[in-house]
Amino acid sequence: MLTVNAYAAESAGSRLAPTTITRRDVGPKDVLIEIRYAGICHSDIHTVREDWGPVQHPLVVGHEIVGIVAEVGADVAKHRIGDRVGVGCMVNSCRACENCLAGQEQYCLNGNTGTYGSVDVDGTITQGGYSTHVVVDEDFVLHVPESLDFASAAPLLCAGITTYSPLRHWNAGPGKKVAVVGMGGLGHMAVKLAHAMGAEVTVLSRTLAKKDDGARLGADDYRATEDPETFTTLANTFDLIVNTVSAPLDLDAYLSLLRLDGTMVNVGAPPQPLPVTVFSLFRNRRSFAGSSIGGIRETQEMLDFCAEHGIVPDTELIDASYINEAWDRVLASDVRYRFVIDAATFA
Ligand code: NAP
Ligand code: ZN
Ligand code: ZN
């Protein structure tokens, strides 16, 4: 076993502090990764604060991980020492259910193994990327293309794939009008990706404060949802709305913006239920859907797509000692647009 530096909170209400954790010995199919950068996802905060239910503390979170392969098990075929690799929200799945066999491990019918807070093969609770090293089965380790700036690439492993997957599934592309609700970590990636796929992109943010950024990221239009006129002007407009907001919204108001057969997909994960009036769905035969991260194959496809199109998240690189302040800023929507921790500072 390897003892490594990490950051964790002692309880749901406490601040994160330096600690040490152990990583399992490298098994035949395992890869030991020296973590270089770890992104801060709003889900890290929801989890530690127990917004979605109790967790076993102390817990090391972080599921936007990039690093360098430091050791490989005897049977590892996909990765070599020195490779630039990434790990996202999953580190294993049953591999036998119909969803796993379809490459949709995120929907594993037996429950995939999350990068943190899940029961691992050895019975321990998985610990995430706010750390210097991690040991992961090679099948859940991605290749990070050389052309992607390494620090900026980390958030692709969650924010990137979580927005790429629904955009692809609902065919964002030329001739499609896509709205992105909330321009934070996920939202700004949705804008970049939908634009690169050729869709016409509108940002629906609370205010116009980030309008210039929206245009720079590729948005064709940018509207304030605090302005009621937005909802009358844009009624019956969009083919697809991707909602990235971490808090409850008035779904009926947003559904009214969908044109015939349009879909609103929720990737934002507020703990509260979101009520829908069925008549909002009857009108224009609208759909309301959810989407969770993406499969391993699709995550690699997304990384390659980003390399091809020169897309990386807009990031602010921080030291580990700044994590608590960064979390406060994420909660205050004061993030442009993803914090990334320099793993060298966990030491
Ligand atoms: P984030 O960076 O904090 O962005 C959320 C954005 O939502 C903010 O930038 C803000 O946009 C808007 N917002 C925040 N509070 C709001 C409120 N009270 N009312 C209206 N709008 C509000 O968070 P993130 O990391 O992108 O994550 C967003 C959500 O997705 C979280 O709930 C997270 O857990 C979830 N998530 C889900 C998946 C999945 O697989 N489905 C994966 C990753 C994350 P504006 O300032 O532009 O209004
Ligand atoms: Zn995440
Ligand atoms: Zn499965």
Across 60-80, b (16+ Cβ under 10 Å) vs e yields: bbbbbbbbbbbbbbeebeebe
Quick: pLDDT tens for 28-64.
Answer: 999 999 999 999 999 999 999 999 999 999 999 999 9
Q: Compute the distance between CA of residue 215 and CA of residue 177 in angstroms, rounded to an integer.
A: 16
Which pLDDT does position 121 carry in this prediction? 82
Shared domain check, 331 and 259: no
Ligand 1 atom 13: residue of nearest CA:
245
Shared domain check, 24 and 127: yes
For a pLDDT cut of 90, what percent of the chain falls above it? 99
Query: Does the CB atom of residue 182 touch ligand 1 within 6 A?
Result: yes
What sign for the dihedral angle of Cα 307, 311, 313, 319? Answer: positive
Q: In a mutational test of the pocket of ligand 1, which residue from 169, 246, 330, 333 has the highest number of ligand atoms less than 8 Å from its CB?
A: 246
Quick: pLDDT tens for 290-342.
Answer: 999 999 999 999 999 999 999 999 999 999 999 999 999 999 999 999 999 99
Quick: pLDDT tens for 114-135.
Answer: 999 999 988 999 999 999 999 9
Residue 241's H or E segment, with its range, is strand 238-243
Residue 161's H or E segment, with its range, is helix 159-169
Q: Is 302 domain-assigned?
A: no
Q: Which domain holds residue 327?
A: 2-158+312-346
Q: Is 297 domain-assigned?
A: no
Shared domain check, 57 and 91: yes
Which pLDDT does position 192 carry in this prediction? 98
Which pLDDT does position 127 carry in this prediction? 98
For a pLDDT cut of 70, what percent of the chain falls above it? 100
Q: Is 301 domain-assigned?
A: no
Q: Is 298 domain-assigned?
A: no
Shared domain check, 266 and 177: yes
Shared domain check, 282 and 227: yes
Phi-psi region of 270 (alpha: psi -120 to 50; beta: other; left: phi over 0): beta
Shared domain check, 168 and 55: no
Shared domain check, 166 and 138: no
Shared domain check, 9 and 106: yes
Shared domain check, 118 and 6: yes
Which pLDDT does position 122 carry in this prediction? 83
Query: Does the CB atom of residue 247 touch ligand 1 within 6 A?
Result: yes
Shared domain check, 240 and 209: yes
Which pLDDT does position 61 carry in this prediction? 98
Which pLDDT does position 343 carry in this prediction? 98
Q: What is the CATH number for 119?
A: 3.90.180.10
Shared domain check, 129 and 139: yes
- Tell me how crowded residue 226 is: count the other CB atoms within 10 A of its CB: 10
pLDDT of residue 347 exceeding 90: no
308 alpha carbon – ligand 2 mean position (Å): 23
Q: What is the CATH number for 218?
A: 3.40.50.720
Q: In a mutational test of the pocket of ligand 1, which residue from 40, 181, 186 has the highest number of ligand atoms less than 8 Å from its CB?
A: 186
Q: Compute the distance between CA of residue 246 and CA of residue 268 in angstroms, rounded to an integer.
A: 5
Shared domain check, 119 and 39: yes
- The structural domain count of the chain equals 2
Q: Is 295 domain-assigned?
A: no
Q: Is 307 domain-assigned?
A: no
